[in-house]
Amino acid sequence: MPVGTGAPAQSHLQARWLRAVSFGSFRFYFVLALAIFFLHSIDAVMVGLPVRESQSAELVNGFKQKQVELWSEMNKLLIAFATVSIGAIGGFIVNRDKNHPLKQPQLRRAAVSWFFCALSLYFGYLSYQQGTLLLKHGVFDAFTPRLWWPARGQFWCYLISIILFGDFIYSSIGDKETKE
Least confident range from 17-21, 59-63, 83-87, 100-104: namely 17-21
Q: pLDDT-derived band of residue 1, with 50, 70 and 90 as boundaries? A: very low
| 19, 121, 154, 171 from 168: Cα distances, Å | 13, 20, 21, 5
Q: What is the pLDDT of residue 44?
A: 81
- Give the residue-averaged pLDDT of 75-92: 95
Average of per-residue pLDDT values in the chain: 82
Q: What is the pLDDT of residue 52?
A: 74
Neighbours of 101 (CB within 10 A): 9
For residue 94, with 0-12 CB atoms within 10 Å meaning exposed, 13-18 middle and 19 or more buried, which class applies? Answer: exposed
Angle made by CA atoms 93, 159, 85, in degrees to the nearest 5: 30
The percent of residues above 90 in pLDDT, for the chain, comes to 36
What pLDDT digit, counting tens, does each position of 39-53 carry? 888 888 887 778 777
Neighbours of 165 (CB within 10 A): 22
What pLDDT digit, counting tens, does each position of 10-34 carry? 555 555 544 554 555 677 778 778 8
- End-to-end alpha-carbon separation of the chain, Å? 25
Instruction: Tell me the whole-structure pTM to 2 decimals.
Output: 0.74
Residue 8 scores a pLDDT above 70: no
Q: What is the pLDDT of residue 13?
A: 53
Least confident range from 19-33, 54-68, 75-89, 122-136: namely 19-33
Residue 69 scores a pLDDT above 70: yes
Q: What is the pLDDT of residue 12?
A: 56
Least confident range from 4-13, 57-66, 86-95: namely 4-13
